[in-house]
Structure 1
Amino acid sequence: MTKNLIPQDFLKNVLQNGVGRYVCQLQRITFRFCKSHGASRHMRDFIENHLLGFSQKNPGVAVYLQPRRHRAPSIVAEYLNGYREVLFLSDKQPSEICKWTEHLRTRSGVQIVKMINNIHTETPSTQGIWHPFMFTDTEWAVTKFPNKKLSSVLKTGKTATDIILDEQTEALTEGVKHCQINNK
């Protein structure tokens, strides 16, 4: 049941990002906090001590502060592709809030999903993937190489080349006999 609830998609990347110049995919980040609620004390400390440095390092990201009365602190990140992510940070230390802020800044904005393989089959094999040594003799695993027996060429019978050469020699000998009979 849970397999159907997890979104699945093929691996994607933001096109052309890094060709020419890098474009930060984080468009806007909003810090929501309460001025008096106890769970927001670390968020208020982060805002007082670390937020100015973050906004100076990232001038392309719009930073908003949204005081909300009697609510748990959260961060809302909005990306260029329209994806929006909300993180609730009750009782997180300022260092943890810094790490989450940096994580949101460096994300591409593509939703995290279970990756789908490019290969699809209706009947998956229970034997495993084929490899060149699948049907070889098991004595090769314990044999010391080089080995005369295993190094010799296996002659299984006439090859197609041998058959064609034999037919040509027969045709030539018949042609020579035919010419000799006509010359007499």
Structure 2
Amino acid sequence: MTPDPRIDAYLAKSADFARPILVHLRERAHAAAPEAAEDIKWGAPAFVANGQILFIMAAFKAHVAVNFWRGQELLGDKALDGAMGQLGKIATLDDLPDDDALDALIVAALDLTTTPPKKKANPKPEKLHPDFAAALDKAPKAKAVYEGFPPGARREYCDWVNDAKRDATRDKRIAQAVEWLAEGKKRNWKYQDC
């Protein structure tokens, strides 16, 4: 595995508590999956093999998160246990699994890359909120862009609008969505070039 200078830069700008954790994860990836390549995905270090991501690691203010790309196949329902990453909230090296367990996870993730990912049987249908639909009707350009997007991109907008707990938040999101759609942008356009 050839070190990627972008990951070196990511490590250099990471918080002091996170740097040794990220360095250790990188070392374990090199040891357990030497054929994997380093890359940056969504602005965070990732390890890739056979055209699939093994795992992504990211540093935040007070913790490091590790997410295996095919985590549910690898970890079962434990992969869905929260937003802190599939290995939990990692604030120190002691929060990581021991090297043997970590290596076993990486090797198992590597083994999964030799088979295509399982497809979801029935993706969740988009639910267009009535207020969002009315706003799109008033903005023909935004509506045309929305209707031209694939189902997943439309669903991202719908979920974002529908997940608002307060009417004021939903109204603000609808206005933002119509503006972005009029510009031809998908919901997560900010992260598309990372």
Please tell me the TM-score bracket, short chain as reference.
under 0.3
Larger RCO, structures 1/2 (Cα 8 Å, 6+ apart)? 1
Larger Cα-atom Rg: 1
- Structure richer in helix, relative to its length: 2
